[in-house]
Amino acid sequence: MRALPDTDPRSLTVQANIHCSFCNGGYLQAGVNGNIPLQVHFSWLFLPWHRWYLYFHERILGSLIGDPGFSLLYWNWDDQVYGGNEIPELFTRVNTSLYDAKRRAEVQPPTIVPLAATTLPNMSASIVTNQNLNNMYQSVVTASTASLFMGGALRAGVDLSNVTVLNNTLGGSLENGLHTAIHYYVGDPTTQLLQNMGNFGTAARDPLFYSHHSNVDRLWEVWRLNMPDGERADHTDPDFLNAEFVFYDENANMVRVKVSDVLDNQKLGVYYKKGRSDHVWINYSP
Ligand code: C2O
């Protein structure tokens, strides 16, 4: 993927640019008056769009190596027991394709990655771990409705171009807190825009992005199926279900997909093993 020319939609460069184009004004909303950019962050579009994005990214990688069973790995940063809370060592080996030089120096392993911007990496390990468990609990267990967890309704014609991570009121708790903290802490503060992970435009240049988002995607499923109050429900509003995006598939063809077709992981062949420490944050008592 890294070796493909930038003119190939399957190259890592174009893959990263696709992410960028869905948040920095690359597409306009269809069927509305005026030029309103499509933004896939900061609302209920966040989880389904990123699931589709991972789906095609994974299929492209599988096809490039001739292994249709290839699967992305998720970085289980929610785990505070078995070391999931460090940047996985696999991604830190210099001169490998999973390495990215633009990452924050103070959160290299074995430093625990904080799950909130207010938790600092130089706090003691037990404080960071406890605050991480608390953030997991607050953002997933107590966020019992689709609006709280997945994000609120984005209707055609609503312009989110002035929304940033700092004034984002529509985004869900998984996106706003946990997910954004990982981007913030992995990005390199000695670069101008917190590249790569800390900025929409460059985040998906770092291979860690895809494993980070695989865990975001897994936590969506944990939220839906494994909470103490029983099964939870995704949004069912037609404006949500009928939202459409375009992606490149593994043959470099452009395809149009719908949110309603990505809600059932089984249809996509995506399967998550139960996380071995999920119960620790699910049962955390603040
Ligand atoms: Cu499209 Cu983690 O952001």
Phi, psi of 184 (to 5 degrees): -65, -45
Residue 146 belongs to some domain of the structure: yes
Pick the closest to residue 24 from 161, 145, 147, 226 (CA basis). 161
**pLDDT digit string (tens) for 83-92?**
999 999 999 9
Q: Are 226 and 218 in contact (CB under 8 A)?
A: no
Instruction: Confirm or reject: Cβ of 205 under 6 Å from ligand 1.
Output: no
For position 39, what pLDDT does the model report?
95
| Ligand 1 geometric centre to CA of 181 (Å) | 11
SS3 171: strand
Q: Is the pLDDT of residue 286 over 80?
A: no
Residue 2 belongs to some domain of the structure: no
ipTM: 0.99
**pLDDT digit string (tens) for 149-187?**
999 999 999 999 999 988 999 999 999 999 999 999 999
For position 228, what pLDDT does the model report?
96
Q: How many angstroms separate the CA atoms of 72 and 99, rounded?
A: 15
Q: How many angstroms separate the CA atoms of 267 and 265, rounded?
A: 5
Q: Is 212 a catalytic residue?
A: no
For position 58, what pLDDT does the model report?
98
Instruction: Confirm or reject: Cβ of 57 under 6 Å from ligand 1.
Output: no
Look up the CATH number of the domain holding residue 247.
Answer: 1.10.1280.10
Residue 221 belongs to some domain of the structure: yes
Ligand 1 nearest atom to the CA of residue 216, by list position: 2
Residue 158 belongs to some domain of the structure: yes
For position 149, what pLDDT does the model report?
98
Domain span including residue 95: 12-282
DSSP state of 179: I
- Total of domains in the chain: 1
Q: How many angstroms separate the CA atoms of 227 and 229, rounded?
A: 5
pTM, full prediction? 0.97
Residue 249 belongs to some domain of the structure: yes
Residue 1 belongs to some domain of the structure: no
Q: pLDDT confidence of 80, banded at 50, 70, 90?
A: very high
Ligand 1 nearest atom to the CA of residue 209, by list position: 2
Residue 115 belongs to some domain of the structure: yes
Arithmetic mean of pLDDT, 18-28: 90
